Every structure is written in C-alpha cells, then in structure tokens.
Amino acid sequence: MANYLVGCDIGTSGAKAIVIDDQGATLGSSYIEYPLLASRPGWSEHDPRDYWRVFKHVVSGAIKSANVHNTEIAGLSISSCSPCSVFVDRDGNALDQSQTWLDRRAVDECAYVQQFYSADEIFELTANTLDPHIGALKLLWEKNNRPEIYHRTYKMLNPANYITMLLTGEFVTDYSNASLTGLIFDIRNRQWRMDIAEKVGLDPDKFTRLAPCDEVVGAVTRSAAAECGLAAGTPVVAGTMDCNAGWLGNGATLPGDASFVMGTAGALGVVHQNTTFTKTMTNVVHTAYSDKSYTTLAGTACCGGLLRYFRDTFAATDARIAQENGADIYDILTAEAKDIPPGADGLLTLPYLSGERTPLWNPLARGVVFGLSLSHTRGHWVRSLMESAMYAVYHCVKIMRENGLEMKLPIVVSEGGSKSPLWRQIAADIMGIAFSYTPDAKGAPMGNAINAGVGVGIFKDYEVAKDFLTAGELSKPDAANHVVYQQYFAQYLQLYKDVKPDFDSLAALLQAD
C-alpha cells in the first residue's frame, strides 16, 4: 500500500475531498455543493442522506482525478461542520433531519438546563457558553418535541462521525466534535459527565465512545467500499470538526499559532495548551495533539454565508448568466464593492442572519441593514456585508487579546471569502493586523489528510503541516482606513445595543403567529 492519504470535509454548504502524497502534494480533488434547509427562522437543517451522497461523490472523484488506485490509500480522516446532530438507530439509519450548528431552536431547553446549573458551572466544565446550538440541547429538543425520534435514537452523531460509522460500523466521536456537544463534556479530562446527562433527562447511552482525533477507529467495510470508491480495509481515523481541520491545514499546530477560515461561518482560532479559557469565546480540543491542545475560537455565524445568501436571493439570475459565460458571480460582486469607500458610505449591516454565537450568544438576533439611502448601490450592499462579518470577528479578537491570549502574526487566512483580495484587505484594515493568504492552501481537507497521516504513522507529528505551506500573500492594514473603521465599529456595537430588545419582541411576534 502506497503512502497516499485522503482528507474529506463535509461543510455547511458543500463537501470537498483531496488526495495527497507523503510530501504534501495534492494529487486530486473534488467538490460539490448541497442544500442547507431553513424552513423557519432559527432553524437550519441538512438531510443526512446528503452527507453520504456528497461524501461518495467527492472521495471517488478525488481518487479518480489523482489517478491512483484505491488500494494505495493508506488512510482517511473526515471533518464536518459542528455541532450538528444525526440521530441514528442501532443499524445506523438516520431517523430525522440533522440540526446544523446554525440551528438555534432549543431556546426553551437552554432555559430548562439553567434551572439545574449556572452559567459559571457549565463554563467551568465545558469551557463553553450554554447556547441553543450545542449538540446536547439538540438531543433534548428532540426528546421534548419529537419523542418518537428520541426513543428510537441509538446514538447521536456528528456528520463526520456519521460517515465514519457508515464506513466502519463503529459508533465513535472524536474529542473536538465532543467539545461542541457541550453541557456534558468535561473538556479538561476529555470524558462525558453522564451524571449531568441524567440530571437534565438525557439517556447517557445515546452518547458514543470518545476518541483522540488521530486514533484509527476502524477500517472500511466491504459493503461501504462497494459504494464509495475506497478499498475495503482502508484505515479510518477518528476525525475532527471543520474549522479545526482548516486551521491545521493552515499550519496552526503549536501555542500561539492563529488561523482564520472564512467559510460559511467566520472561524478564527488560536492554539494553546493552557486551561485558562476565554469566556464568551468557543473553546474546543484541537485536532493537532488532541491529548493536550485546545483552540479558542471566534465563531461568528455568518461570514461567506452572507455573500452566498446575497447571491442566491438577489443575484441568482446574474449568477446563472455569469456561469454560462465562464465567469464567477463572486468576482463580479466584489468588483462592484471594490470602489466603495471604507464604511460603505454609511451603510451598516448587522450580520446575524442565523443569530450570533461569539461573543454575543444571542439566538434571537437577526440581520439589520442600517443607514440605507437612495444613493446606495449593489456594490455598497456587498461591501457592507463584507465589512459586517469582519466587525463581528474583530469584536472577538479584541476580547481574546484583552484576556492575554498569545496570537502570532500574521494570521494565516484561507477558504471561502479569503479568495477575495478585497475581503482580506477589509479584514486587515478593520482589525489592524496582517493576514497571510496562501492561494494553494487546501484548508480543511488538507488538515484531514495530515490527521490521517499522523494516525496511520506516515507522519511522525503534526509539524509537517507547516512544511506543506508556501509563503503567502500578505495583506497589511492601512492605518488611515483602520481609523475610519474604528469609528464604524463603535457604531456597529452601539447599533446592536440599541436594537437588541427588539429582537426579543420580534421573536415573540413570530411565536404568536
């Protein structure tokens, strides 16, 4: 068996896989989009059948484009968006739609848990804020609202763990995805607290075995191999969450390493090994050295997803015409935004189309467009959306720095929106820090391939991630633009403070309907 490795990421809006060799060269890749379902405000779902469908498509496609035989694949690792919920029976059949990390429906369940445990108690155990999006509350919501699904559920899995189960027959959750199950995960000791599960009324048996991210948890079965293009017997490594994989692919392995993944969400992570966690941030076990390392995460709900929403809602015809002519609608939209000055001539957006996570933790927050006038063009809208996502990340970065978290500069940035030089420059100008962009970075799939390589022993440690990176394009902050953006950032914070009570009353109106 040759030293080829497969890394696959099941993201929020698309899946990608790559094949690399033991020198980190990418030999083949494949990508496909799939639907994100939002049937009502605060809800966000996937069809679990799509996870398996897109996995088979991208893995077989990557192997084919790499022109290698599937028996030459030495190992595989998978990441996915998190926390998501896949409820399966004893035979591994999905029983319901998967609630994605964007889903915030479990508001009542969140309030219920707070009858038993204070916010400080929960943070001390999990290093995370109790919020409707966490995995344990998704399961509790099913119990309260779809008891027939809950009682038939054998295990709750994350999409990456679900694919691993379909490949190997093993029900297992890696440490990083367990971090975002929240509530019952002891992040320091890396174990479930089943007493807490029982206290809040959850069946402890519905949670799976825990494993380090690089543990080989099984091998591809003959039946799975017949469907997905892998060879039977191929080792499968436990896996990780998508942003962790992206940061690893960007070389973030050691304390102080920082990386920003501009995917559907905005995920800026900083690696550390101390257990003094920053409140209002998300804190997870890191993929690299998952026995001792953590990442503190600025996790904003909408980043690249803002432009996808704008494309699909307001520029669908233009997108179709652009595709027919071999053009990219995102290039067209960002070109229109390029000539708009910093601050978008007073057009300010709150980017909370799916509520907000760090640092606000407000599931009821919604998008707001403020300052709109007849002089504003489509380019203003696009620039305002781009700026709003960076304000949200900057809010988190300021808190991280104020709490003394070591952050090496420049920060490596990749994926999604980072392909836009304009968006990278906006990020640098708003935050006042430099970002390094590597055009050929493969992001999360590369992180997965490296994780697989460590797991099966091809790589001695995770430091190969740095060896596989080439020097990036540097976006340095413009001092004058940063001054302008400081003023708009202050307005952004004030705007949220002003309208926050209205989010509550709007939610009450929707419930009344």
Residue 239 vs residues 9, 73, 134, 183, 297: alpha-carbon distances, Å: 10, 16, 19, 21, 18
Left if phi > 0, otherwise alpha if psi is -120 to 50, otherwise beta: which for 297?
beta
pLDDT bin (cut points 50, 70, 90) of residue 39 is: confident
Residue 112 vs residues 117, 144, 203, 429: alpha-carbon distances, Å: 9, 11, 16, 42
Cα-Cα-Cα-Cα torsion 189, 191, 196, 200, nearest 10 degrees, comes to: 140
Domain coordinates of the chain in residue numbers?
4-250, 304-404+478-512
Q: For residue 182, what are the contacts with CB-CB under 8 A and spacing of at least 6?
A: 83, 122, 126, 128, 130, 131, 134, 135, 136, 137
Q: For residue 39, what are the contacts with CB-CB under 8 A and spacing of at least 6?
A: 45
Strands 258-262 and 411-414: parallel
Residue indicated by tokens 């997905």: 228
Q: How far apart are CA 414 and CA 401, in angstroms?
A: 22
List, for residues 218-242, the tens digit of each pLDDT value.
999 999 999 999 999 999 999 999 9
Q: What is the model's pLDDT at position 368?
A: 98
Residue indicated by tokens 């403070």: 497
Q: What is the mean pLDDT of residues 184-209?
A: 98
Q: What is the model's pLDDT at position 104?
A: 87
Q: What is the mean pLDDT of residues 54-77?
A: 97
Q: Which residue has the higher pLDDT, 511 or 382?
A: 382
Q: How far apart are CA 329 and CA 409, in angstroms?
A: 32
C-alpha R_g of the chain? 22
List, for residues 416-445, the tens digit of each pLDDT value.
889 999 999 999 999 999 999 987 778 899
User: Which runs of E-coded beta strand occur in 407-487?
Assistant: 411-414, 435-437, 473-475
Average pLDDT, the chain: 95
pLDDT bin (cut points 50, 70, 90) of residue 513 is: low
Task: Count CB-CB contacts under 10 A for residue 466.
Answer: 13
Task: Count CB-CB contacts under 10 A for residue 491.
Answer: 16
- 8 A C-beta contact, residue 477 and residue 428: yes
User: Which runs of E-coded beta strand occur in 151-265?
Assistant: 155-157, 172-174, 185-186, 191-192, 209-211, 216-219, 235-237, 240-241, 258-262
Judged on CB neighbours under 10 Å (0-12, 13-18, 19+), 152 is: middle
Q: What is the mean pLDDT of residues 238-257?
A: 95
Task: Count CB-CB contacts under 10 A for residue 69.
Answer: 12
Q: What is the model's pLDDT at position 47?
A: 96
List, for residues 3-13, the tens digit of each pLDDT value.
999 999 999 88
List, for residues 387-407, the tens digit of each pLDDT value.
999 999 999 999 999 999 999
Instruction: Output the pTM of the full model.
Output: 0.92
List, for residues 274-299, the tens digit of each pLDDT value.
999 999 999 999 999 999 999 999 98
List, for residues 118-136, the tens digit of each pLDDT value.
999 999 999 999 999 999 9
Q: How far apart are CA 51 and CA 98, in angstroms?
A: 10
Distance of CA 144 to the CA centre of its chain: 27
Q: What is the model's pLDDT at position 32?
A: 96
CATH no. of 304-404+478-512:
3.30.420.40
Query: Is the model's pLDDT at 357 over the cut of 80?
Result: yes
Q: Which helix (H) or strand (E) segment is 279 a member of?
A: none
- 8 A C-beta contact, residue 128 and residue 97: no
Tokens in use for 414?
Answer: 């990749």
List, for residues 456-479, the tens digit of each pLDDT value.
999 999 999 999 988 779 999 999
Task: Count CB-CB contacts under 10 A for residue 247.
Answer: 33
Helical pair 421-431 and 479-512, crossing angle rounded to 10 deg = 100
Among candidate residues 209, 336, 242, 290, the one with its CA nearest the CA of residue 455: 290
Q: What is the mean pLDDT of residues 241-245?
A: 94
**Percentage of the chain lying above the pLDDT 70 cut:** 100
Q: How far apart are CA 175 and CA 209, in angstroms?
A: 10
Q: What is the mean pLDDT of residues 157-183?
A: 97
Residue indicated by tokens 């467009």: 369
CA geometry: angle 412, 415, 416, nearest 5 deg: 135
Tokens in use for 127?
Answer: 């290093």
Q: Are 4-250 and 304-404+478-512 equal in CATH topology?
A: yes
CATH 3.30.420.40 fits 4-250, yes or no: yes
Q: What is the mean pLDDT of residues 336-342?
A: 97
Q: What is the model's pLDDT at position 41?
A: 81
- 8 A C-beta contact, residue 165 and residue 217: no
